[in-house]
Amino acid sequence: QVQLVESGGGLVQAGGSLRLSCGASGRTIGTYVMGWFRQAPGKAREFVATISRNGISTLYGASVKGRFTISRDNAQITVFLQMNSLKPEDTAIYYCAASRAFIVRVTEADYDYWGQGTQVTVSS
């Protein structure tokens, strides 16, 4: 069982930046494809970004491409989501997820473990 813990959420003004972090308590995440998803009130969970096990391959959702960057540290302990040029429509709970797949994944069902989520609120 992998327990994922997110941090870094908060309140920010439109145009600002936040960096989310996610780790698996007590273990590395090097054997997992990692992803970020988000869910706004009254909406379905949405794919945000994913990164391969070796950190070379990444994919982004259309609404965040060019503004968000996913990365993982060399020690394979933490995955990050750098969010720039934030907009009010980015307001959501952001979830970190881990997949045992061998290549990057964009679908919720392909992820095996999920964090509890961290709230991001962007004010206009």
Nearest to 41 by CA among 124, 107, 119: 119
Per-residue pLDDT of the chain (124 residues; tens, 9 = 90+): 789 999 999 999 999 999 999 998 877 888 999 999 999 999 999 999 999 999 999 999 999 999 999 999 878 889 999 999 999 999 999 999 999 999 999 999 999 999 999 999 999 9
Phi, psi angles (nearest 5°) of residue 105: -130, 145
pLDDT at 63: 97
pLDDT at 77: 84
pLDDT at 35: 97
pLDDT at 2: 87
* 78-83 and 33-39 strand pairing: unpaired
Helix (H, G, I), strand (E, B) or coil at 88: helix
pLDDT at 11: 98
Token pair 């959420």 is at which residue? Answer: 9
pLDDT at 75: 80
